[in-house]
């Protein structure tokens, strides 16, 4: 999975979690460790699912 797709997915996840506005206004560094971890966990899960689908 390329970096551009991961970035797109990261923004989609942030939007689903209701954090996109916060990210757009203050950047990713404004998120708490819990929020960042949740996004990372969901991103990892979706990345694995994506890889399994294309294999």
Q: For 1-55, what is each residue's pLDDT tens digit?
A: 789 999 999 999 999 999 999 999 999 999 999 999 999 999 999 999 988 998 7
* pLDDT given at position 7: 95
* pLDDT given at position 17: 98
* Domain membership of residue 31 as a residue range: 3-54
Q: How distant is the alpha carbon of residue 13 from its chain centre? A: 5
* pLDDT given at position 46: 94
Give this prediction's pTM.
0.88
Domain count of the fold of the chain: 1
Which residue's entry shows tokens 């990210």?
23
């Amino acid at each position: 999975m390329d970096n551009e797709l991961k970035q797109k997915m990261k923004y989609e996840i942030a939007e689903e979690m209701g954090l996109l506005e916060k990210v757009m206004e203050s950047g990713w560094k404004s998120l708490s460790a819990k929020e960042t971890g949740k996004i990372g966990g969901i991103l990892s899960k979706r990345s694995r699912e994506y890889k399994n689908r294309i294999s």
